[in-house]
Structure 1
Amino acid sequence: MTATSHGDVVREVRTGPADDRGQSFVTDRWDTLDRLHRLVQATVERRLREETGFGVSEVQALRYAGSGFAADAGPESMRLGEVADGLGLSQSATSRLMARLRRQGLVISSAVDHDRRGVQMLLTPEGHAALRRIAPRYEQVVRDAVRDLGSQDVDPLLWHFLTGENDARTVNR
């Protein structure tokens, strides 16, 4: 497998792959989007680790677990399966991730009352503090990684989706 440069992936998002091996348009576009996602993911992962000490999965888990609030009742626990589904991870990967966060004192877990096999998670006060501290950095790192793709070379529909801009060409550089 040959390494794909950032420019190659951006060109593919705009024009499709250079060689036609009989794959469908949808498959080609999906493969290109997947490579683009991996490029952004790697950039975000590296910068987050350097700047906050947290990885993407940890930040996303804190964000997801921290979203369990009822307006009138305060924080609500979330089942481990809900967190796994929300993060797109397997149960075992989510369990290992939550164990790391638990060892850091950022989440607590307990068995579900009516289902002893179930586990529910809740952010600790330290977890909420960490989330408040790293969430703005996460937002900026993701924004920078998307911006660095080079907006003039990326499919306008993809830019609209990623940036929420009405005109994909108005992304600030």
Structure 2
Amino acid sequence: MIITEITRNIQGEQINKRLDSLAIEWYESTKRIQRLRTAEGMDIAVKLLGNTSSLQDGDILYEDEEKIVVVTIKPCEVIRVMAIDFFRTAFVSSEIGNKHLPLFVEANELLMPYERSMYEWLAKQGFDPQRCERQLLRQLNANVDPKHHQKMKFSTKNIPLIINDKAFMNSQAPAAMNED
């Protein structure tokens, strides 16, 4: 079976059908094209293109009269850091981003897949990292839609530059007088 779109998400719904779980790892949720197998053995080819670019926990991929196929993100070993204040959160987020590691947010916690070197660095910096099992569901993403800049209508091309700084104006005055 080929899945090209997500029907809906099961959260908040009362379902009276048999659930067939499609358990995936967190890093598989962003793959657009993949072959997977449900708990009941149903082979599924996922081909998500366009606006639907990732699978979320609870997404319904298939439904008939008897059953539905629901995505489940498997828990994994993670590093958990409590977001204490804005500056410490910004600092640790920046450092994690500089290392190109994925970062997830859950309430006031920063989560990332466990990596020994990152765990040791966080401990050395005094962030009190915790090692635990969690689902990685809400990834921070700083990427912008590739067409974002095309959609913007604002341009500064025709706005004149006006400098209203007395120190700058005074330093330019003698040069302007010498030109005459």
TM-score in same-fold range (> 0.5): no
Q: So what's the TM-score if we normalise by structure 1?
A: 0.23
Q: Which has the higher contact order (CA 8 A, sep 6+)?
A: 1
Bigger fraction of residues in helix = 1
TM-score computed with the length of structure 2 as normaliser: 0.22
**Whose radius of gyration is greater, 1 or 2?**
2
**Higher relative strand content:** 2
